[in-house]
Amino acid sequence: MSTSLSVVPAGRAPRRRYPLEYKRQVVQESLSPGASIAGVALAHGINANMLHNWRWQYRRGDFGALSSMPTFVPVHVAPDSALSTIKPNLPARRIDGQADARSSEIELVFNAACVVIRGAADPATLRCVIDALRP
């Protein structure tokens, strides 16, 4: 008695496709303060690497125009005693093509980085600093 056995490779499961709105929702959930990528991915049953890719696509604008709604950032107001150390009405360093600037201070806080800019801030340089510190 002769029996034959044939081995057939198992086919891969079809690739799952996710709607754009679902991807946008999951990405926005992962961008909320305190959310972890691994936790959000696990909650939605997807791989964390996939969520990382979706986040890059979202920032690139692949999921449609980003919300035109204004976003809010935390602002910390210094007490009056801290402001007394700033010497008002002293000219700051001049930047080419810019009128004399008065003494001022800008503090930018991004995650673990804090940047303090005193005096006149060159808009192009300021934009580069902000872009570099964004998550």
> Which of 70, 35, 41, 67 minimizes the C-alpha distance to 54?
41
Co-location of 97 and 127 in the same domain: yes
The domain boundary, picked from 6, 28, 60, lies at: 60
Tokens representing 53 are: 């890719």
- For the chain, 135 residues long, give each residue's pLDDT as a single digit of tens: 556 666 666 677 788 899 999 999 999 999 988 999 999 999 999 999 999 999 999 988 888 776 655 667 777 776 666 555 555 555 555 555 555 545 577 777 776 677 787 777 777 877 877 777 776
DSSP string, 101-133: PBP-EEEEEETTEEEEEES---HHHHHHHHHHH
Local structure of 41: helix, strand or coil: helix
0.75 exceeded by the pTM? no
Residue 67 domain-assigned?
A: no
Domain check: are 84 and 129 in the same one? yes
Domain count within the chain: 2
Cβ atoms within 10 Å of 26's Cβ, excluding its own: 21
| Residue 9, domain member (yes or no) | no
State the residue range of the domain holding 112.
80-133
Is residue 15, in this structure, part of any structural domain at all?
no
